[in-house]
Amino acid sequence: MSTLPLSRATDVAAIQEARAALESRIAAAGGDPSSITIVAVTKSFGIETVEAALAAGMTTLGENYAAELIEKAAGISNDDVSWHYLGAIQTNKVGRLAQVTSCFEGLAREREAEAIALRRPGATVMVQVELTGLPGRNGVAPHEVQSLVERAQTLGLEVAGLMTVAPQEPDRARAAFRKVREMKEDLGLAEASMGMSDDLEIAVEEGSTMIRVGRGLFGARS
C-alpha cells in the first residue's frame, strides 16, 4: 500500500486520489463506499491539511488530542464539518470540546458520559470497546459495554454505536471486529467505527460502517 509524501498532505488532488483508492479497497472487501463513512484523521497535520481535506470533499474529520481539535475547529469556518473526537475523554476538557465536537468516539466511563451530558445535552457518542488486552488502552471490556450504553442513553446522550482499535495480528483483529459488530447489532445501534489504514479490509468484511484513516489519506506523519 502506497502513502503520500508529507509534502502532498495539502494537495487537494492527491487527497482525492487517495480517497478514491480507499473507496476501491472498501469495494474490493465487499463494502459499499457510499454507506461507509471515512473519518479523515488529521492528527499532527496542520490547518492547511484540514483545509485541503475539506476541499477534497472530506467533511468528517477526526482528532485524537483535545487541544488540536479545539484549535483546528476554531480556525475553520465551515458549517459542513463533522468533528469526531477519537481520544480518551478527560472530563476537565469536555466543556471546550463539547462546543465543537459532533461525536465523542472514545466514551469509556460513566463520569465521562455525565460530563458530556451536562455540557452538551443530547450529544452523539460512541462507546469504545477495548479488545487488544494491552495495558493503558482506552475503552471498556465487552461485559461492561451494555451498562455504559444504557447509562449514556439514560443521560439523554445519542449513542450512535461502538468503536474499537483492533489488535495488530490479522486473526485477532478479525475476531475483535466481529465481536464489536455482534455487540452493536445486539444493542440495536447503528454504527461500528472500526478499521484504519492497515486493517480496513478486515473491518469492512466484518461489518464496519465507519473507518478512521490518516496515513492512507495524507501520507506519513512527521
Question: What per-residue confidence (pLDDT) applies to 1?
Answer: 38
For the chain, what is the mean pLDDT? 94
pTM: 0.93
pLDDT in tens, 149-164: 999 999 999 999 999 9
Strands 210-213 and 37-41, bridge-based pairing: parallel
Share of the chain above pLDDT 70, in %: 96
Model confidence over 97-128: pLDDT tens digits? 999 999 999 999 999 999 999 999 999 999 99
Confidence at residue 78, expressed as pLDDT on a 0 to 100 scale = 80
Domain ranges across the chain: 6-218
Q: DSSP letters of 84-150? A: EE-SPPPGGGHHHHHTT-SEEEEE--HHHHHHHHHHSTT-EEEEEEE-S--TT--SB-HHHHHHHHH
User: What is the structure's pLDDT at 222?
Assistant: 65
**How confident is the model at residue 220, as a pLDDT?**
82
Give the closest residue to 168 by CA, choosing from 188, 207, 189, 196.
196
End-to-end CA distance of the chain: 19
Q: Could you read off the pLDDT of 193-214 as tens digits, one per residue?
A: 999 999 999 999 999 999 999 9
**CATH annotation of 6-218:** 3.20.20.10
